[in-house]
Amino acid sequence: MKLLPSLSLFLFLVISSASSASILDNFSQCLSDNTEILIPFSKAFITPNNSTFLPTLQSTAQNLRYLVPSVPKPDFIFTPLLDSHVQAAVICSKQLGIHLRVRSGGHDYEALSYVSQIETPFIIVDLAKLRSVQINIEDNSAWVQAGASIGEVYYRIAEKSKTHGYPAGLALA
Ligand SMILES: *[C@@H]1O[C@H](CO)[C@@H](O)[C@H](O)[C@H]1NC(C)=O
Ligand SMILES: *[C@@H]1O[C@H](CO)[C@@H](O)[C@H](O)[C@H]1NC(C)=O
Ligand SMILES: *[C@@H]1O[C@H](CO)[C@@H](O)[C@H](O)[C@H]1NC(C)=O
């Protein structure tokens, strides 16, 4: 007879914890299931209650019109540390029906990389921590991760060669 109340309490807890799992909970669970290298979550996720959320959101935004409070904000910002994390983020967004915006250098005046006005909820996958630049002068080739800025690319080329270069620029609206 004593079992009954605790059993129903247990069931209630199971049910309520399942339905109260947030998008972030579900997403991070899915990421763990889909990556071999564990993600240090405290470093990879920035939630709106974190004081670094707005500064991070604004960090590469070029169009201030899309930063006003009335513009929808992402549920969280995910900053992958490895390219396999990006792959997992795409898989998990699809699986969980979360809309995904990918931001690299932020050269984006329509704010498509950090705002969604139509599809909610949405998250930002911010590639700011994937910015390695490998220059191979002998091969005339370069491997550049999407988060690197043009200045960083130029710098790494200039370190290796005084004659290699290519035209690029920053457009100001
Ligand atoms: C998280 O996943 C659980 C189990 O699939 C589901 O019941 C819940 O609604 C999900 N939460 C959100 C916010 O989508
Ligand atoms: C806030 O975010 C930063 C950067 O992701 C992280 O290092 C820090 O632990 C977070 N703080 C809290 C209270 O979640
Ligand atoms: C911020 O929110 C996340 C999930 O939304 C939660 O896990 C975390 O504990 C919260 N941090 C603080 C400092 O309130």
Residue with tokens 């620029």: 169
Of 44, 65, 40, the closest CA to residue 128 belongs to 44
pLDDT band (50, 70, 90) for residue 1: very low
What kind of architecture, by CATH, is found in domain 3-126?
A: 2-Layer Sandwich (3.30)
12 contact partners, CB below 8 Å, separation of at least 6 = none
| The pair of three-digit structure tokens given for residue 33, joined into one six-digit string | 């299931």
The reply to whether ligand 3 has any atom less than 6 angstroms from the CB of 49 is yes
Percent of the chain clearing pLDDT 90 (strictly above): 59
Ligand 1: list residues with CB < 6 Å: 18-19, 21-23, 26
- Ligand 2 centroid to 116 CA: how many Å? 24
Residue nearest to atom 4 of ligand 1 (CA): 18
Q: What value does the mean pLDDT take over residues 79-102?
A: 94
Phi-psi region of 97 (alpha: psi -120 to 50; beta: other; left: phi over 0): left
- For the chain, the domains span 3-126, 131-173
Which alpha helices (H) appear in 35-173, and where do they start and end?
Answer: 41-44, 53-58, 83-96, 150-160
